[in-house]
Structure 1
């Protein structure tokens, strides 16, 4: 068994433990800082919306891709001096295609940009495709994405409530999901990656991943807390912390296994391809999986424990467990004090007084002799000598 496997076995048996729930103030503080930074990036810088959301014109042409393809086509498009052109977005698709995206343009400017692309690519005008994308279509995609997110969160709340019979578990899971989405979107704003439909797909995917990991932890919590109010061994927080320790190694293994291929896709999409759906999708998946694992271990169980500890039954359980621990701590101290106290020696008994001269002497004991049965018998004088 590997070292990590040995640690996981010891954590599952409770031989070693880390106080995840007891340090919840630290985790909540870290999450608040991350969420605050994400909101600052989101409202200060804003999201770099792709052409699918803000509208524009997209051109594609076949060309042999080289190291200078992006710069060459960018310069050629800018040289047209089209009205409201802005900075064109030039990307390569594979090794034989180039894509140029611009802001919405008039028909004359569209034709000028198309001709410049055909000239730079060395192809005829008919071999350059152009497609107008309206901003209204992008708004429809954004609205549908928001509705999909709202419906997803609503269904998640109902499903977790029905499965665990506990609305507080649903609340903790939903807060963790909103936490994951906020940080992921904030990272997109801070990094400056374009938000495309691939980004929306990635965000919805990480919600399912984070939810799966949270449900696994909650299921172990339910197993450890079954009938907990009928005993006084553990509080709800203690049982929840044990559940997190029992599943933490599994969560780490699952997260690392999922992050490795996503990281490879992110490197390929960013370094090799430069831009495109792979980069947008992989960034959302990478950030979302990492943050989702963090929230499943540190945030969701701690929130569930905070919600449950407010119940009167759990507060009574806390008092019983605290009283039992206090009594157990006092008992060894009393035993130690009792063991260290010296015993008082018995006082010597007074010596037996001898009778005074005026008192009749105590008759001497008659001599005894042993018989065959082993019982001593008084010795008797022969009759002939009794009177003498």
Structure 2
């Protein structure tokens, strides 16, 4: 059994390869299934926006007993004449946060007293803040504008960097895949969406984009002189690029997910810090989904788009012709799966260029002097 380092070296050299492009319809189908489930969740449950988006009143109770129960908060609002069902969150080990819709100032003052009485704290330890519906609508509008501007700038950046619209389109579709699935998880769990959540969403889009750009950059390197050779097709070189960057994607994901998971599960779930949960939960979900999309969604989508190009189709015909000729000459054989086994690896990073260093094994051997 090979070690992790040996496995990575085998993937990079092409000695070991996972046929991701060959099975691209399966992986894209999986992605579409998760997107469909997310859309169903959004249609049925919708997202749960915080008062920062819809407006309302926020009460914070501090210096309570350790791990205070939530039921006294519901009873306090009922005693103040509030019939709606409020949102109650624990803050740390000695605090609570209660959110309601917009209330009159007189009612807010009554609720402050009832909460102080319920948790046996001074009224000074019960703070309140109000956000109007117009402010909430403004925050929602600014969040939507920020997301649209982000996607537009990313499209321009990718087109200018790769000098092709195909990679930009595939990367943006993969980003939308990550965004929809992450939002779908929030719809099913009904975890509150706050401005910190939006920051987390934008962060994971940048993370996912970085991972995708690494793979695309390797594809560009491997296909730089592709049309000057007749050994490898575009899909084969794209598949090689995924395998060559797979270890890097896994390592980057693990090192990023570990601290985020610590913040999510230790900081928010155990300590009750809701603000940490608001930003760490989309990061945790998005990094996992982003790693999947950069390997199994973005590049397969790119190959589907590029396969419709006449240049790629003509090149593939040239490769097929060369392989058919190799079969006739007896320099190649058919594998059990119907592929052509050439004397050298079919998927090579680039055509051999005269004058370039071809490795130690290609150098002339020095003859030993005979005595």
TM over 0.5, shorter chain: yes
Output the CA distance in 1 between the equivalents of 2:332 and 2:175: 51
**3-state SS, counterpart of residue 69 of structure 1:** coil
2:271 equivalent among 263, 273, 277: 273
**3-state SS, counterpart of residue 130 of structure 1:** strand
- What is the aligned partner in structure 2 of residue 22 from structure 1? 22
| Deviation for aligned residue 1:283 | 1.2
Computing the radius of gyration over CA atoms, which structure comes out larger, 1 or 2? 1
Output the CA distance in 2 between the equivalents of 1:307 and 1:152: 23
**3-state SS, counterpart of residue 116 of structure 1:** helix
2:56 touches 2:133 (CA, 8 Å); kept in 1? yes
| Deviation for aligned residue 1:320 | 1.2
- What is the aligned partner in structure 1 of residue 61 from structure 2? 61
| Deviation for aligned residue 1:81 | 2.8
Residues 219 and 245 (structure 1 numbering): CA distance in 2 closer, same or farther, change over 3 Å? same
In the TM superposition, 1:22-171 aligns within 5 A as 22-82=22-82, 85-171=83-169
1:63 touches 1:98 (CA, 8 Å); kept in 2? no
| Deviation for aligned residue 1:263 | 1.3
| Deviation for aligned residue 1:266 | 1.5
Output the CA distance in 2 between the equivalents of 1:79 and 1:22: 65
TM-score (normalizing by structure 2):
0.85
| Deviation for aligned residue 1:257 | 1.4
Residues 233 and 333 (structure 1 numbering): CA distance in 2 closer, same or farther, change over 3 Å? closer
| Deviation for aligned residue 1:269 | 4.3
1:62 touches 1:121 (CA, 8 Å); kept in 2? no
Residues 277 and 326 (structure 1 numbering): CA distance in 2 closer, same or farther, change over 3 Å? same
- What is the aligned partner in structure 2 of residue 177 from structure 1? 175
- What is the aligned partner in structure 2 of residue 297 from structure 1? 295
| Deviation for aligned residue 1:94 | 2.6
2:228 equivalent among 222, 227, 230: 230
**Where does the alignment leave 5 or more consecutive residues of structure 1 unmatched?**
336-388
| Deviation for aligned residue 1:124 | 3.7
Output the CA distance in 2 between the equivalents of 1:65 and 1:279: 23
Output the CA distance in 2 between the equivalents of 1:179 and 1:207: 10
TM-score (normalizing by structure 1):
0.81
Output the CA distance in 2 between the equivalents of 1:18 and 1:237: 13
- What is the aligned partner in structure 2 of residue 321 from structure 1? 319
1:118 touches 1:125 (CA, 8 Å); kept in 2? yes
1:245 equivalent among 243, 246, 249: 243
Output the CA distance in 1 between the equivalents of 2:308 and 2:137: 43
Question: CA deviation digits over 1:83-112, x for unaligned, max 9?
Answer: xx4222222323343322112122332222
Question: CA deviation digits over 1:327-379, x for unaligned, max 9?
Answer: 333443999xxxxxxxxxxxxxxxxxxxxxxxxxxxxxxxxxxxxxxxxxxxx
Output the CA distance in 2 between the equivalents of 1:60 and 1:314: 62
Residues 334 and 175 (structure 1 numbering): CA distance in 2 closer, same or farther, change over 3 Å? closer
Output the CA distance in 2 between the equivalents of 1:132 and 1:287: 31
Output the CA distance in 2 between the equivalents of 1:260 and 1:333: 50
| Deviation for aligned residue 1:134 | 1.2
Output the CA distance in 2 between the equivalents of 1:62 and 1:191: 27
How many residues are paired up? 333
Output the CA distance in 1 between the equivalents of 2:282 and 2:25: 27
Question: CA deviation digits over 1:97-150, x for unaligned, max 9?
Answer: 332211212233222211101212333434422111112211111111111111
Output the CA distance in 2 between the equivalents of 1:135 and 1:227: 58
